[in-house]
Amino acid sequence: MSELFERSAAEIAREVNERRVSASELTQAALAHVRANDGEIGAYLLVLDELAKETALRVDERIARGERLPLAGVPLAVKDNMCLTGTRTTCASRILERWTAPYTATAVARMLDAGCVPIGKTNLDEFAMGSSCENSALGVTRNPYDLERVPGGSSGGSAAAVAAREAAVGMGSDTGGSIREPGAFCNVIGFKPTYGRVSRYGLIAFASSLDQIGPLTRTVEDAALAYDAMAGHDPMDSTSIARAVEPSATTLREDLQGLRIGIVREFGLDPLGAAMKAVYERAYRDLEALGARLVEVSLPTADYGLATYYLIAPAECSSNLARFDGVRYGLQVQAGDVATMNSRTRAAGFGPEVKRRVLIGTYALSSGYYDAYYVRAQKARTLVARDFAQAFDKCDLIACPATSCPPFLLGAKSDPYSMYLMDYYTIPMSLAGIPALSVPCGWVDEGDVPLPIGLQLTAPHFAEPLLLGAAHAYEQATQHALRCRPESFDCASRAQDRLRAKSRDRR
């Protein structure tokens, strides 16, 4: 039997429900593992020792009363842009560094109600703006598979926590790829549901027409269990969808017989380089071997996705972040008049990437430029969504890369636009609001380190059961996630040696 903290959410829930192990024992094991391991990884901004132990006791009481909970005792990592009553909720920003949430996000509350135990709040790019976690003002997170590389972002803390077995389920939010890209980089499942399927009440807003909460997990079954627990209508979020959620964990598939999977003509694999190209060609062949029929589809406007996104998302962010003005909560830099107080507070409280996006969004919405930039981008968005609708006339799912490169070295991307390019393959799905996930599909060797690669699968609105079902068949047949363990705790000393050797070389 593997260590307690190694188990999947499904295994944990089964054992806690059958009273073979208590939520309290599991929580002790998880917290001990976090204490031993997270110093190197930096997945958590805050570890909730007391709350975790109290919550575990309550889960054990519920089990003792005869309740069965779908996620009984499952250690949960919560991205620190989601509110949890009485805990610091920072968005990894100086402006909220000392803010304590007075209420709990609906999605988090649902996970706790399903039996999860909150281990801690995880690092992110400030206000979820970034693709590497390096825009965090409050800490560095390292990729558990190579400590010199980024975990991806913005949900990099949750992805790293799950990869390093510091939680079984991580909660992330995805605006342009912020669950899927760190999922791919950390060799875990990163799943963004249909826009509106999970309540955003208590998720601190970045771009409201794009933001969506979803799970990061080590198995597809766990992603399905987490999705089933967190999805559903919420009167507190009027954009949440008022139709019943079809459960996905009970409809996982073992093959892809009868499915047509679209391969996107415009996403040719040559630009990715020989090693990644080989990984994706192999993945497409594996889909076929499982019974899927591959068909070519076209997304002619996908190439405009990045430009569309980098107008719409900053525009919405400039509006959403106007609330951080130093008056009602968070940081305040004092000044003699209100406008100066606002401007100095925001200058001191926001990091460079947040400032850039607020400025570009303010510009795109300003008088004289609104039609040329924002409205035009919204029209381009219509075309991107239409492309997907037409493609799904010819196929049931689409398969494509999740990222254009493997996890990169910390500090490697200093130019903002080169970081924005990281979202190239994930943005079109966000613009269309369709569900999409990244599932581990192989490795590329970089020196002596194998680096994980993710396959992105996407489906029409509300086709989560089909999407997760197909991902499960692929995962079960290939098991790429199991081929390599994070060096951070499997061979921690080797990683340390390598780090020391490299810093010696630099000197």
Partner 1 sequence: MPEIDIRYVAKLARIELTEEEVERFGAQLSALLEHVKALGELDVASVAATAQVVESRNVTREDEPRPCLEQGVVLDEAPHRQGPFIRVPRILAE
Residues that bind partner 1 (CB under 8 A): 99-100, 102-103, 194-196, 209, 235, 238-239, 241, 301, 304, 306-308, 310-311, 318, 322, 325-332, 334-344, 346-347, 350, 352, 355-356, 358-360, 362-363, 366, 373, 375-383, 385, 416-417, 420, 431-433, 461
CB-nearer residue toward partner 1: 101 or 188: 101
Spatial neighbors of 388 by CB under 8 A, at least 6 apart, are: 299, 398, 428, 429, 432, 434, 458, 460
CB-nearer residue toward partner 1: 336 or 447: 336
How far apart are CB 375 and partner 1 at their closest, in Å?
6
CA–CA gap between residue 206 and residue 124 (Å, rounded): 13
- Looking at residue 93, the DSSP 8-state letter turns out to be -
The active-site residue, picked from 8, 131, 154, 430, is 154
The active-site residue, picked from 79, 121, 192, 413, is 79
CB-nearer residue toward partner 1: 226 or 358: 358
How far is residue 446 CA from its own chain's centroid?
24
CA–CA gap between residue 377 and residue 401 (Å, rounded): 24
Query: Residue 406: which of 484, 310, 479 has the closest Cα?
Result: 484
Distances (CA, A) of 253 to 224, 259, 392, 455, 467: 12, 11, 20, 17, 10
Answer whether 299's CB lies under 8 Å from 427's CB: no
Cis peptide before 154 (omega within 30 of 0): yes
Distances (CA, A) of 434 to 216, 288, 472: 17, 23, 19
178 tagged catalytic: yes
**What are the phi and psi torsion angles at 316 (to 5°)?**
-70, -35
How far apart are CB 342 and partner 1 at their closest, in Å?
4
How far apart are CB 325 and partner 1 at their closest, in Å?
7
How far is residue 168 CA from its own chain's centroid?
14
How far apart are CB 183 and partner 1 at their closest, in Å?
22
Q: Which residue has the tokens 């190439």?
A: 303
**Side chain identity at 467, as an amino acid letter?**
L
How far apart are CB 502 and partner 1 at their closest, in Å?
30
- Looking at residue 247, the DSSP 8-state letter turns out to be P
CB-nearer residue toward partner 1: 328 or 507: 328
192 tagged catalytic: no
Distances (CA, A) of 241 to 177, 187, 195, 234, 462: 21, 30, 8, 8, 10
How far apart are CB 380 and partner 1 at their closest, in Å?
5
394 tagged catalytic: no
How far apart are CB 411 and partner 1 at their closest, in Å?
17
Return the H-helix or E-strand segment holding 455: strand 449-458
**Residue 55 token pair:** 């919550």
CB-nearer residue toward partner 1: 93 or 141: 93
Distances (CA, A) of 349 to 178, 337, 354: 22, 18, 10
Please count the residues of the chain: 507
CA–CA gap between residue 122 and residue 111 (Å, rounded): 16
**For the chain, what is the radius of gyration of the CA atoms?**
22
3-class secondary structure, 207: coil
The active-site residue, picked from 24, 93, 173, 178, is 178
CB-nearer residue toward partner 1: 239 or 479: 239
Residues annotated catalytic, as ranges = 79, 154, 178
